[in-house]
Chains A and B, each alone.
Chain A
Amino acid sequence: AQSVAQPEDQVNVAEGNPLTVKCTYSVSGNPYLFWYVQYPNRGLQFLLKYITGDNLVKGSYGFEAEFNKSQTSFHLKKPSALVSDSALYFCAVRDPGSSGNTGKLIFGQGTTLQVKP
């Protein structure tokens, strides 16, 4: 079964410093990986995805993620954090289901990012 783990409930970082939000996955077959961000009382916003190709994926708001097949990880990164980046971040993996074609997402438990001025 597909699964995603986000080992940190919360990550604290000072504004201007680099940030990393960790994600590891377990899938059968090729992994299709996604990062979403959720601001308070809002739905999830798509940040970036890895389907194939370059291991370093660039996304919205200056975020990027590095796919590492040997470590089964897909960590989210940003070189310089902003206070406005403070939010709840979800890593997700596509679960093709028994038919191989559902596209539903399996989410990690989420990591709260707190960026302090």
Chain B
Amino acid sequence: GAGVSQSPSNKVTEKGKDVELRCDPISGHTALYWYRQSLGQGLEFLIYFQGNSAPDKSGLPSDRFSAERTGGSVSTLTIQRTQQEDSAVYLCASSLSTGSSYEQYFGPGTRLTVT
């Protein structure tokens, strides 16, 4: 079946611009996560959504970062006024639930470069 998809695969933007990253989770998966992978920080949790519950935003690094999930499916991660330190690979993952036994399935990521 189809896995997690993300778009765009690569994004180059100028410092100060806003960017939107998209994630399509596996159909039927109710939990959706965003992570960031960078050389200096490794893999960091950013935000997660579970059904209609309030999202856990505890990993967002600043108020320039926000995310939404429409209709319990597609999610968009928005970074406003991008900075060079935002350059990283942004990974989306989904799972059947947030229950402890459920593994997360990751998309291929969006590589963001801020110039």
A residues at B contact (CB < 8 Å): 30, 32, 34, 36, 41-46, 49, 51, 90, 94-97, 99, 101-110
Contact = CB atoms under 8 A, between A and B. Distances in A.
A102 B43 contact: no
B56 A46 contact: no
Interface stretch (B14-22, B66-74, B75-83, B94-102): B94-102
Chain B interface extent, by class = 20 to 34
A43 B102 CA distance: 18
Contacts of A108: 42
Given A43-B91, A51-B100, A104 B106 contact: no
B25 interface: no
Interface of B: 4, 31, 33, 35, 42-43, 45, 48, 50, 56, 58-59, 91, 93, 95, 97-109
5 contacts: A49-B101, A51-B101, A94-B100, A102-B48, A104-B59
B98 A34 contact: no
B106 A102 contact: no
Contacts of B107: 43
B56 A97 contact: yes
B40 to A, nearest CB: 11
A105 B104 contact: yes
A42 B105 CA distance: 12
A32 B59 contact: no
